[in-house]
Amino acid sequence: MGIFDKGIAKTKRSFFERLSRVVVGKSKVDDDLLDNIEEALIASDMGVDTTLRIVDALQDRVERDRYVSLEELTGMLREEISSLLNVGGEDDAVKPFDFSKKPYVIMVVGVNGVGKTTTIGKLAAMLKSQGKKVVLGAADTFRAAAVDQLTIWAERAGADIVKQQMGADPASVAFDTVSSAVAKDADVVLIDTAGRLHNRVDLMNELTKIRNVMRKVIPDAPHEVLLVLDGSTGQNAFQQAREFSRATDVTALAVTKLDGSAKGGVVIGIVDQFRIPVKFIGIGEGMDDLKVFNKKEFVESLFSKEDFGR
């Protein structure tokens, strides 16, 4: 079983149940079938715009090829989804870290409750298992729980952590963190940030300030702005991606909690709409259940062992 099979099992089951109902008894591809496929894709939380893009492409290919079997249509759908995920390079597996930059600084953003701090902890564990020296920065100083949680994760992962008192200036924490990382010759820095969306201007100003103070120490920091999204929230994840993309230059995504949801289509929709690559995917609660995203494996898991007519 591939690493994504378990993680997106609910999405796959829901996706194919809808598509199976759509094609049962059909012997050819017609407009009604395409309309029904459109409804099935929207129901999987791919989003309207992405769904229309896929269905339009299918329609063009059906018209060009005149007759298309249901099996061929399955292959077309698979190809279209694969092509939408080709953001940030054609390689199946993305390159999650650039160790040519030392320390490699990742600023992690996202609203409270999406698994942001947990994702940072799991990333720290992943990096430590690769023999890397990691420093965490507890710059979400508005919630005592966030600092406490990150401290626990730092201990579990064996990573260093820089923190200040509750209510401290987040930019000050970020400055201390990158300064400490340089002094300790660390490989990677992970900066936790406050997950508030109550005022976009405040969010933008805070993230910009954090970026600017880090650049006093490391001129090209942060090297990555990683947005963490809860895949189980469906369309809310689209809204969060939109808001954070406006507030800062998001360069990569980590999508969590897909194992408990039938809304895995949100991964495809968000990549398509915002042209930001997914680098990590959360498929469980365990320390090792944050995986480097592999486009080919994800699509294969979605389409494996099942077909439209079965």
Name all domains of the chain by residue range, CATH numbers in brackets: 3-90 (1.20.120.140), 104-293 (3.40.50.300)
Q: Which 3-state string (H, E, C) describes 167-235?
A: CCCHHHHHHHHHHHHHHCCCCEEEEECCCCCCCHHHHHHHHHHHHHHHHCCCCCCCCEEEEEEEHHHCH
Asked whether the bond before 170 is cis by omega within 30 degrees of 0, the reply is no
User: What are 100-131's pLDDT values in tens digits?
Assistant: 999 999 999 999 888 899 999 999 999 999 99
Give the pLDDT of residue 179: 97
Contact 143, 127 (CB under 8 A): no
Of the pLDDT bands very low, low, confident and very high (cuts 50, 70, 90), residue 39 is confident
Beta bridge partners of 226: 108, 252
User: What are 60-108's pLDDT values in tens digits?
Assistant: 888 887 666 777 877 888 888 888 888 866 665 678 898 999 999 999 9
Sign (positive/negative) of CA torsion 171, 254, 102, 159?
positive
In this prediction, residues 282-292 reach a mean pLDDT of: 80
Its pTM stands at 0.88
Give the pLDDT of residue 135: 98
